[in-house]
Structure formats: C-alpha cells, structure tokens
Structure 1
C-alpha cells in the first residue's frame, strides 16, 4: 500500500476514535480542555522545533503580508458568495458569515498534515504566514465587529482603546506567537535545535509527537452537523474553497511558481477551516446586547457556530485528499478542475432554492388569480 494512503487511513482512524469517544467525553469543558492542550503545548512546541530546524531568512517576512492580503480578498468576496446562496448580507446571519468566512484556523485544520506530508520547512513557512492571519482575525475583524455593533463612529473611545490594548496583549502572549518570536530570535543568533540542551530538545520533541493524534481526535469530538441550514452552509463553504483554488491557480500562473511543495503549502493553508476568534468576537457582542436587552441583534451566534462545526471536517477532508494525492494538485489544471467541481456542487443548493422559490411564487400567483376570478364571477352573477 502507498505510504501516503496508509498515513491518510491512519489519520481517518484517529478521527473515528474521536467520534467514538463522544459518548465518553463531553463536548463542553473536556473538549475545550483538549483544544487548549493542543494550542498551548503541542502546536507551539511543534512550530518551535520546525523553525529551529530550518534556515530562516528575510523572505519569510513576506508570508504574513501575503496571508493578510488573502484574508482581505476573501473578506471582500464573501458578500458576493452570501448573496449567491440567498443570505441577506445585512442580516445577523450575513454579518456572522462575513466575519467567519475570511478567517483561517490552520492550527487545527492544516498544520498537522503539512508537517506529516511536507515536512518541517513547509511548517515553518506556514507558521510565519499564520501571523498575518492572526493579526487579521484578532484585530481587524474585531474592529469590523465593533463598527457593525455601534452605529455611531464616536463611541466609547476609552473603552475601545483599552480593548485594543487587551487584544494586542492577547496576540503577543499567545503561546504559538511567543514560541515563533523566541525561535526567530534564537535562529538569528545561529542557535539551532542541535545546540539546545538535550533535556529541552527531548521535551519539546515529545510534545510535538502528540500534536497530530490530539488534533485528529479533537476533530472527531468537535464535529457537529446540524440538519438546519446544513445545505446552505455547505454550499457557502464549498464556494469559498472553489474561489480559493481559482485564486491560487491565478497566482501560480501570473507569478510562474514552479516549486511544487510551495504550491501545496499555499493550497493547504488557504483551505484551512474558519477560525474560532471571530466567533469569540460575535459571542462577546451578543452577550453585551443580551445583557442590554437589545432587540436588533448584530450577530447570530448559532449560525456562526454551525459554520465552524461544518467548516472543520470539510477543510480537513479537502486538505488531506490534496496532500495524499502527492504532487497531483501542484499543477494548475488539477487545481482548476477541483475548483470547478467544488463550484458546481456548491451551486446546486442555490439553484434548487431559486427554482422552489419561483414555483412557490407562481403557485401563489395562480391561486390569487383564481380567487380574483371567482370574486369577479360572483359579482357578475
């Protein structure tokens, strides 16, 4: 059996284990505890080791900037996708989706697979790229959420200033970012993983070993697919993935990128699931509005949570399938074909919805005409 296929089957088995453990592990505090363990220990240790194993140069600084540009483009296109599937962009659902769809959560959805299939060098590049995404989801999306919440621009200036300071501290002191900063400082002084004390390198290495199994088990535990709005959200996420693949294909064509591993890194990273951070902003504002008994709510937390729940398994399946295929999707034609397939599947729901809407409208119109004719007939009689 092919090595990549064996690895994929092993990953799927870990996800199945997570699904089976749902009966034993609650989806509340226990699952969140597992997530915290991944994001505060296993993932930072893995990225730290990856950065110390590769040669870090000034070109890596471009990755956060490029990622930030991708986030902004995705943010700009999201209203178009929402209109296409029939979601009002000015509604609570629309605003929730506009906050979540442009965000990325590579830590849970692509880092483990990039490490396993593409190696430490690829993971180091991805970790640097995620800094731009973190800035976007923590700062820029928070400002957008506040702007939508407060109609007046001149609101609680002191409160906003203090909240921005708190967010900056969150970004700075987040374990993943702290480890990246420390690793970059060490590498700049020529300190690699081999030059660290043995007890430290062994501890970090063993922590990194548990990341992939923990992430896959977490995916199995966290996945929740609700029947309500399932097809609408599925359509939105597939169209998001389709647009991403078309954008990557365009970049490869115009830049004339030929390094296959870099292409696969770009695809895997940009197909990451939606981030939890925008949902945290949504929850905070919703709680405030609930406390103040605000009737017209800015966001719909239930719709946002449904997007998160469905986004993770879809991203994992896409990323896992692409990386398992080797260098197949390092070619523009393969990327365009996959993007086209996802687009065609994604538009099925909007088309069916439009047909049903037109049929319902026609039926109501016919009934109205019949009713009017009956009234006219009775009057004439």
Structure 2
C-alpha cells in the first residue's frame, strides 16, 4: 500500500477513535482542555522545532502579508457567497457568516497534516503565514464586529481602546506567537536546534510528537453536525472552498510559483476551517446585548456555532484528500477542476431551492386564479 494512503487511513482511524470517545469524554470542559493542551504545548513546540530546523530568511516575512491579503479578499467575497445561497447579508445570520467565513484556524485543521506530509520547512512557512491571519481575526474582525454593533462610531471609545489593548496583549502573549518570536530571535543569531541544550531539544521534540494524534482525536470529539441548516451551510462552505482553490490557482499563475511544496502549503493553509476567534467576538457582543435586553441582535450565535462545527470536518477532509494524492494538485488544471467541481456541488442547493419556490409560487397562482374563476361563475349564476 502507498505510504501516503497508509498515513491517511491512520489519520482517519484516529478521528474515528475521537468520535467513539464522545461517549466517554464530555464535549464541554474536557474537550476544551484537550484543545488548550494542543494550542499551548504541542503546537508551539512543533512550530518552534520547525523554525529552528530551517534556514530563516527575509522571504518568510512575506507569508503573514500574503495570508492577511487572502483574509481580506475572502472577507470581500463572502457577501456574494451568501447571496448565492439565499442568506440576507444584513441579517444576524448574514453578519455571523461574514465574520466567520474569511477566518482561518490552521492550528487545528492543517498544521498537523502539513507537518506529516510536507515536513518542517513547510510547517515553518505556514506558521509564519498564521501571524497575518491572527492579526486579521483578532483585531480587524473585532473592529468590524463592533462597527456592526455600534451605529455611532464614537460610542464607548474608551471601552474600545481598553479592549484593543487587551487583544494586543492576547496576540503578543499567545504561546504559539511567543514561540515563533523566540525561534526567529534564536535563528537570527545562528542558533539552530542542534545548538540548544539537549534536554530542551528532547523535551520539545517529544511534545511535538503528540501534536498530530491529539489534533486528530480533538477533531473526532469536536465534530457536531446539526440537521438544521445543514444543506445551507454545507453549500456555503463548499463555495468558500471552491473560491479559495480558484484564487490560489490565479495566484500560482500570476506569481509563476513552481515549487510543489509551496503550492500545497498555500492550498492546505487557505482551506483551513473557520476560526474560533470571530465566534468569541460574537459571543462577547451577544452577552452584552443580553445584559442590555437588546431586541434586535447583531449576530446569531447558534448559526455561528453551526458554521464552526461543520467547517472543521469539511476542511480536514479536503486537506487530507489533497495531500494524500501527492503532487496531483500542484498542477493548475487539477486545482481548477476540483474548484469548479466544488462550485457546482455547492450551487446545487440554492438552485434546487429557487426551483422549488418557483413551482410553489406557480401552484399558488394557479390555485388563486381557479378560486377567482369559481367566484366569478357563482356570481354570474
């Protein structure tokens, strides 16, 4: 059996074990504890080692900028995707989707696979790119959420400044970002993994070993797919993936990127699931509105949670499927074919809904016309 296929089957088995463990492990505090273990220990250690193993140059600075640019483009396109599937962009559901769809959570949906299939160098690039994404989801989306919540831009200006300072500290002191900064400082002084004390490198290496199994178990434990709005959200997330692939294909052509690993890193990173941070912003604003007894809510917290729940398994399956095929999707034609296929699958639901509404409308028109004729006949008699 092919090595990549064996690895993929192994990953799927870990996810299935996580699903089976749902009966033993609660999806509340225990699952969140596992997530914290990944984000505060296993993932930072893995990224730290990856950066110390590769030659860091000035080109790595471009990755956060590119990721931020991708977030902004996806944010601009999201209203179009929402219109296609029939969600009012100015409704609470529309605003929730506009905040979540352009966000990325590579730590839980793609880093483990990039490490396993593409190696430390590719993981280092993805980790650097995530700095741009973190700035987008922590700061820019928070400002957008507040803008939608407050109609007056000057309202609670002091409170806004305080919260922004808190967000800046959260960004600075997040374990992953601290390890990235520490690794970049060490590498800039020529200190690599083999030059740090042995006990440190051994400890960090062993911590990194547990990342992939923990992430896969977490995915299995965290998957929650509700029947309500399933088709609508499934359609939205497939259209998001389709646009992502078509955009990546355009970037590859425009920039003439030929390094196969870099292409796969771009695809895997861009297909990451929606981030938890925008949901945190939504939750904070929703709590504030509850305390103030606000009648018209800015966001729909249940709809946002459904997006998060469905986004993770879809992203994981797409990323795992693409990386399993080796260099198949480093070819532009194959990227375009997959992107187009996902687009047509994603658009099936809104087309079906429009046809159904059209049929119902015609039936109601026919019924009303028959009733009018009956009334007219009875009047003539």
What TM-score do the two structures reach when normalised by structure 2? 0.99
Structure 1 gaps, min length 5: none
* Structure-2 separation of matches of 1:280 and 1:376: 60
* Structure-2 separation of matches of 1:249 and 1:207: 36
Listed as ranges, the matches of 1:122-271 within 5 Å are 122-271=122-271
* Structure-1 separation of matches of 2:358 and 2:218: 42
Structure 2 gaps, min length 5: none
What TM-score do the two structures reach when normalised by structure 1? 0.99
Secondary structure at the counterpart of residue 347 of structure 1 = helix
Match of 1:285 in 2: 285
CA RMSD of aligned residues (A): 0.7
Alpha-carbon deviation of 1:138? 0.2
Match of 1:71 in 2: 71
* Structure-1 separation of matches of 2:345 and 2:276: 26
Listed as ranges, the matches of 1:1-381 within 5 Å are 1-381=1-381
Alpha-carbon deviation of 1:377? 2.3
How many residue pairs are counted as aligned between the two chains?
Answer: 381
Alpha-carbon deviation of 1:224? 0.7
What is the CA deviation profile of residues 319-371 of structure 1, one whole-angstrom value per residue up to 9, with x for unaligned ones?
00100100000000010011111011111101101111111111111122122
* Structure-2 separation of matches of 1:362 and 1:154: 50
* Structure-2 separation of matches of 1:94 and 1:364: 29
Alpha-carbon deviation of 1:152? 1.1
* Structure-1 separation of matches of 2:205 and 2:320: 24
Secondary structure at the counterpart of residue 167 of structure 2 = helix
* Structure-1 separation of matches of 2:8 and 2:364: 52
* Structure-1 separation of matches of 2:368 and 2:155: 50
Alpha-carbon deviation of 1:290? 1.1
What is the CA deviation profile of residues 304-332 of structure 1, one whole-angstrom value per residue up to 9, with x for unaligned ones?
11110010000000000100100000000
Alpha-carbon deviation of 1:189? 0.7
Alpha-carbon deviation of 1:373? 2.0
Bigger shift: 371-380 or 86-95? 371-380
Alpha-carbon deviation of 1:163? 0.4
What is the CA deviation profile of residues 48-77 of structure 1, one whole-angstrom value per residue up to 9, with x for unaligned ones?
000000010111001000100000000000
* Structure-2 separation of matches of 1:366 and 1:40: 63
Secondary structure at the counterpart of residue 258 of structure 1 = coil
Secondary structure at the counterpart of residue 257 of structure 2 = coil
What is the CA deviation profile of residues 170-206 of structure 1, one whole-angstrom value per residue up to 9, with x for unaligned ones?
0000000010011101111111111111111111001
* Structure-2 separation of matches of 1:46 and 1:377: 81
Alpha-carbon deviation of 1:133? 0.2
Secondary structure at the counterpart of residue 290 of structure 1 = helix
* Structure-2 separation of matches of 1:367 and 1:110: 54
